[in-house]
Amino acid sequence: MKRRALHLSLLAGLLALSGFVSAQTKWDLPAAYPATNFHTVNLQAFADDIDKASGGKFANINRPIAGATHEKDLPVGKHPFQLYSLATPNGVKVTVMLEELLAAGHTGAEYDAWLIRINEGEQFGSGFVAVNPNSKIPALMDRSGPVPFRVFESGAILLHLANKFNAFMPSDPIAKAECLSWLFWQMGSAPYLGGGFGHFYAYAPTKQEYPINRFAMEVKRQLDVLDRQLAENRYLVGDDYTIADMAVWAWYGALAMGLQYEAGEFLQVQEYKNVQRWTKEIAQRPAVQRGRMVNRVMGKPESQLHERHDASDFQTKVQSMVNSTVQSGAKA
């Protein structure tokens, strides 16, 4: 069968993610994959062009193909749940949920949280790909029963844990439907905030007015959606705190606090009074405060707990303590 190739000509202006392309570039991307694996060679050429154009900034996280790049087994701890993650908003959703479950007395929710450094390409190791073929954090192994199994995608993990422990999910069918609606609203909306606005505002090599304004408009619309819902409800689904709040807060709460992309003033987040009230209330929850620390490698050292394997780690292994111990040892 004769294979057809899809010829794409991308102008420099469309390659905003690179910012460095100054002439028209053409790639051949096969529309069907021949047995000779020509597609792999072709796609790699595409990746090389993007890598060159972006100065290698996204080389470890942006690839045009799936699968493992290297062999590396994942560590396994002693607890029922093994989490492989990083404290991005998607990672924070899950660590907050696990900490909330433990705070509510669900001792079966004990977990080991292993750090996955995505900027170093650890999500493309064979062990991680086996847990999440999409090579995105967070990824969870549920080892609470006789047969371990994987759960990937942050929303799916929240839903799995809520169902497993019958917690942070309304039992009333109408309220449950509302909860799921807001959970999946977040899953569908956040790419406009992160991959759209966040990328062009904070990470793209060159600032471009059109994409920044385009995605800023959408993010402000989303904030208005939340503000209107929270004008009539303490939480997203009424008076009960649910996985919907955890999911949405990890992205939009952090944004409202000015912790996302240093864009609070630009987006005028203080204008959304109901979002601000909701954000501050959730931020005061001890489990949320602990969950934000887990697998965090940026920010103040006292806010970072690179890995979590026991509840006592919050008192003994926070990065500020680790740094102090290292410095004391060096002086000795």
pLDDT of the residue at 53: 53
Task: Report whether pLDDT(26) > 60.
Answer: no
Averaged pLDDT for residues 258-273: 94
pLDDT tens-place string over residues 294-313: 999 999 999 999 999 999 99
Per CATH, the number for 173-284 is 1.20.1050.10
C-alpha dihedral sign at 61, 87, 309, 244: negative
Residue 314 CA to residue 304 CA, distance in Å, equals: 9
Averaged pLDDT for residues 207-230: 97
Half-sphere exposure of 201 (CA within 13 A, CB side): 22
Among the residues of the chain, which ranges form H helices? 38-53, 89-103, 126-131, 154-165, 173-191, 209-231, 243-248, 254-256, 264-267, 273-283, 286-293, 313-316, 319-331
Instruction: Answer for the pair 318, 304: CB distance below 8 angstroms, yes or no.
Output: yes
Q: Give me the residue spans of the domains in the chain.
A: 5-53, 71-168+289-317, 173-284
Tokens of residue 65, six digits: 């193909």
Task: Report whether pLDDT(269) > 50.
Answer: yes
Q: Among 40, 42, 65, 62, which Cα is nearest to 50's?
A: 62
Q: Among 295, 317, 294, which Cα is nearest to 100's?
A: 294
pLDDT tens-place string over residues 62-121: 778 899 999 999 999 999 999 999 999 999 999 999 999 999 999 999 999 999 999 999
Among the listed ranges 30-39, 115-124, 199-208, 317-326, which one has the minimum average pLDDT value? 30-39
Task: Report whether pLDDT(19) > 80.
Answer: no
* CATH architecture of the region 71-168+289-317: 3-Layer(aba) Sandwich (3.40)
Residue 290 CA to residue 201 CA, distance in Å, equals: 29
Task: Report whether pLDDT(170) > 60.
Answer: yes
Instruction: Answer for the pair 210, 49: CB distance below 8 angstroms, yes or no.
Output: no
CB atoms closer than 10 angstroms to residue 72? 13
Choice between 100 and 28, residue whose per-residue pLDDT is larger: 100
pTM of the complete model: 0.83
Averaged pLDDT for residues 308-323: 95
- The most distant pair of C-alpha atoms in the chain lies apart, rounded to whole Å, by 71
| Residues contacting residue 311 through CB under 8 Å, at least 6 positions apart | 102
**Residue 168's pLDDT band (boundaries 50, 70, 90)?**
very high
Instruction: Answer for the pair 241, 288: CB distance below 8 angstroms, yes or no.
Output: no
pLDDT of the residue at 324: 72
**Residue 323's pLDDT band (boundaries 50, 70, 90)?**
confident
pLDDT of the residue at 21: 34
Task: Report whether pLDDT(143) > 50.
Answer: yes
pLDDT of the residue at 51: 56
Percent of the chain past pLDDT 90, that is, above it, reads 75
Task: Report whether pLDDT(190) > 80.
Answer: yes
pLDDT of the residue at 8: 33
Query: Do the bridges between strand 139-142 and strand 149-152 make them parallel or antiparallel, or are there none, so unpaired?
Result: antiparallel
Element (H, E) at 151: strand 149-152
pLDDT of the residue at 54: 54
pLDDT tens-place string over residues 246-257: 999 999 999 999
Report the chain's mean pLDDT, rounded to a whole number.
86
Task: Report whether pLDDT(55) > 90.
Answer: no
Provide the b/e sequence for 46-63 (b: ≥16 CB within 10 Å): bbebbbebbeebbbbeeb
Choice between 213 and 46, residue whose per-residue pLDDT is larger: 213
Q: Among 237, 123, 241, 247, which Cα is nearest to 185's?
A: 247
Per this entry, what is the length of the chain?
332
Task: Report whether pLDDT(37) > 70.
Answer: no
138: cis peptide before it, omega within 30°? Answer: yes
Tokens of residue 234, six digits: 């303490």
Task: Report whether pLDDT(28) > 60.
Answer: no
Instruction: Answer for the pair 97, 292: CB distance below 8 angstroms, yes or no.
Output: no
